[in-house]
Structure formats: structure tokens, C-alpha cells
Amino acid sequence: MDSTVIATLSGEIHLKSRRTKRRFLRLLAHNAAAALGVPAARVHPLGGNRLIVDGAVTDAGLARLASVFGIDHVERAVRIPTGELDGITEAVLDEWYDRTATGSFAVRVRRTGNQGWRSGQAERHIGTALDRPTNRVDLTKPDHLVSIRVEGDRSWITIDRLAGPRGLPVGTQESVLTLLSGGFDSVVAAWMLMSRGCPSEFVHFSLDCAQADHAVAVADGMAARWAPGLDPVVHLIDFQPIKDAIRASVEPRFRQVTLKVLMARTAAEVAHRQGIGALVTGDSLGQVSSQTLTHLRAIDAECPLPVFRPLLGMDKEEIIDRARIVGTADLSARAKEVCDLSDGFPVAVDAEPFTVALATGAVDDALVSVAADTVTSFPLSEWFPGRFQVGSREAG
């Protein structure tokens, strides 16, 4: 029998109002079609909490669909035109008898309609048909989960199932601008805001201690898997003049937090020009000197836009574990994440906002506008290593 792919929506979408849920469902169908690389007409609602894909879907396509935010899980299922228990059992045996020959299994039946039998009765009936001396029933953690959904006079028998990322469909919330370093933290922060429905653009500050192409490669790796149908814009900014000014004008102990303040200000200027209302950073509380609570307050006081920090309560190991889920951990491990401006002097960790403001004031404000004016911006799809350079639209 031919199989069909069905995607079940994230549970929290079910809690939305009917109007909001319809909008989310339409956007999710669009994102799912983009992930599969098929026309939007091939993906359409099935009831109020699922999507169905018309036509064949490869295993690779199924995996891509399982990376779409807003999806709880995806299933490859066989549809049978009956709601009769004997007919369902016969179809289950065709699909699952050999696959459950060894190991443990469990049967789950969900149904709507009046079939004349209960779900528990069907589970026992089908389980008895699959049972043999070489396997066993395990209702807690089975090796094989035989899942059947019955809707009136038709049924679906699941043959493959992949967990999705849940969350909200990307595009249901407004865009954000992520300050991209190329390390573990910032791309995970962008991923977490995307899981809440926010598309992300990226800004990278090019310094002599940073690698722009490497940072863009990390963003590209994340977006390729998790942002189907989107083409995030990347903004490269030559920040070396500002770094040099900080080194010339600011006491060593205040240089790191001053650098972060001026990055936030410049990113806010870029965001304003793009019509974006919030910044995202990979700050984790106490991870480095510029990420103490006092210094985060100081940065916020100097930045005209709200700064979202989804990693604030996570430690480094948790962030790296999340980067492995995102798929960027190996590449991020090779990044140079921190530019040390202290020259070996002790670094302040608790400078009050007014002290940071005084240190930042030693740097000419005009440098921020100059940096924002010389930004190099491009869609991520147009990037390849070496093509775009800071201060020039194209290299070569």
C-alpha cells in the first residue's frame, strides 16, 4: 500500500484562538512545503491539528520536515479504507508482523467516531495478533510502537515516526537581529528565538581577532536546516576602527564591556534601518566579564533597542548540547569567540552603568554611524567563502 506523510502540530498551537490557529496553520503549511521543496498546494490541513502531504516523500524529506518549527512529530502512514477492527488488524499485520518479530512492542489506537469497539479493546486485539514467543509486550518503553488512528470509516497505520522541534512556526512573530560571533552561543540564541516564531537576520562585527566567513558558515549551517523558505540577510561590519579607538581611549579594565556596548549600539542602528525592533545575543549570565548582571544592565542602558538573551540561565555545557541539536557544534568549536582587549590587566566585572557610560563616552560617537554606513549586506543564499568582504559588496 502507498504511504502518506502526516505532520502533527505543536501542542501549544492548539491553545490559540481559532483565527490565530488558522493563520499559524497556513504559515506552517508554507514552511513545510519549503522544507520538502514541493509546491505549497501539496501540503494542506488534515483536520484542525495536522498537515498531510500529497505524493511521495523521501526519507531525507521526512527528516527535513521534522526540522520545521511548529511540528510536534511527523509520521509516514498507510491509509486503509476501513474502520472495522478485523480489517485494521489485517492491515497492521501486513505492515508490522515481520518488524515486530523480535524485541518489545506496544499498540496505541486513537479513534474518532462510533466504531462499536473501544480503543483499549482494539489494542488488545491487535497486540494478541502480533504476539509470539520471540517478542514481548512493553507498554512503557517498547522497541516498536504500533500506532493506529481511526477516523470513522478510514484508518491510518504509522510505519515511521520522527519527533519534531515543536515551538511556533517561523514567521508568526516579528524579525530579530542576532549578533553573530560564530561560536556556540549566538547561533543557538538565534535558533531559540526562531523556535518562538521569529525570523532572524544576522550582524557580524569583523575584527582582526574574528573570522567573518567562519561566522557566516555557522549561520548558514543553522539556517539551511531550520529556516526553510527563508533567506536571512547577513550584515558584515568592519569594527576594527572602533576596537582601535577603544584601545587608544579606554582604560584596559573597561574595554571589554565598552566593546559590547558599542556593538549593541551599532547593531541597533542596523536593525533600525531594517525595520527590526529587537536584538538577540548569546549572553549567558556570568560566562565572561561583559556578561555579569551589572554589565548587562549597563549594556541595556546604552542600547536603544531591547536585547533578548535566551541563553541567560544556561551554562556552557547546556549551550554546547543545544548546539549539537542545532547541528553547528563541530563548526562552532573552531571559532575564535572572544577578542581580549585587556592587554593582561585585570578586567572589571561590576562597573555600574554610569561608569560604563563614561568609558564609552571616550570613543567618538561618529564611529558608530561610520561603521553602520559601511555595512556589507547580502542574502545568506548568495554567500560562499571569500565572496563578501567587509566594506565591499563583493570580493573578486
- DSSP string across 137-188: E-SSS-SEEEEEEEETTEEEEEEEEEEEEESB-TTSS--EEEE--SSHHHHH
Domain ranges of the chain: 3-166, 176-382
347-374: per-residue pLDDT in tens? Answer: 888 888 889 999 999 998 899 889 888 8
Burial class from Cβ neighbours inside 10 Å (0-12, 13-18, 19+) for residue 137 reads: middle
Of 249, 276, 280, give the one whose Cα is nearest residue 264: 280
216 C-beta neighbours (distance < 10 Å), count: 23
344 C-beta neighbours (distance < 10 Å), count: 7
Choose which CATH entry (3.60.9.10, 3.40.50.150, 3.40.605.10, 3.40.50.620) describes domain 176-382. 3.40.50.620
Residues of the chain with pLDDT under 70: 1, 209-210, 336-338, 391-396
Choose which CATH entry (3.30.2130.30, 3.40.50.300, 3.40.50.2300, 3.40.50.2000) describes domain 3-166. 3.30.2130.30
Amino acid 1: pLDDT:
61
CA distances from 66 to 62, 227, 293 (A): 6, 12, 37
Distance separating alpha carbons of residues 305 and 273, to the nearest angstrom: 12
Of 309, 298, 273, 313, give the one whose Cα is nearest residue 353: 298
Query: What is residue 261's three-state secondary structure?
Result: helix
5-37: per-residue pLDDT in tens? Answer: 999 999 999 889 989 999 999 999 999 999 999
